[in-house]
């Protein structure tokens, strides 16, 4: 008996030869963000992503 588990809808936000940033609209309604940096992947929930983007934007003002 196979279960019909819905897949997340994904979208690439940015990509270079070595890095990838993408988001996933999860079946439960949660949006998650993912950053792939060579062999490291970081996963963020929406609230964490907003804070991370604020942190990165702050780098330009230092």
Chain segment 9-22, per-residue pLDDT in tens: 999 999 999 999 99
Residue 1 lies in a domain: no
Q: Which residues contact 19 (CB under 8 A, 6 or more apart)?
A: 35, 36, 37, 38
The domain containing residue 38 runs over which residues?
A: 9-59
Q: What is the DSSP letter of 5?
A: P
Give the chain's domain count.
Answer: 1
Residue 2 lies in a domain: no
How far apart (Å, rounded) are the C-alpha atoms in residues 29 and 15?
25
pLDDT digits (tens, 9 = 90+) for 34-57: 999 999 999 999 999 999 999 999
Residue 18 lies in a domain: yes
Residue 53 lies in a domain: yes
DSSP reduced 3-state for 53:
helix
Residue 48 lies in a domain: yes
């Amino acid at each position: 008996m196979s279960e019909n588990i819905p897949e997340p809808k994904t979208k690439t936000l940015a990509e270079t030869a070595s890095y990838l940033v993408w988001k996933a609209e999860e079946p439960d309604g949660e949006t998650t963000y993912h950053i792939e940096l060579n062999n490291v992947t970081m996963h963020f929930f929406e609230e964490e992503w907003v804070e991370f983007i604020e942190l990165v934007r702050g780098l330009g003002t230092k």
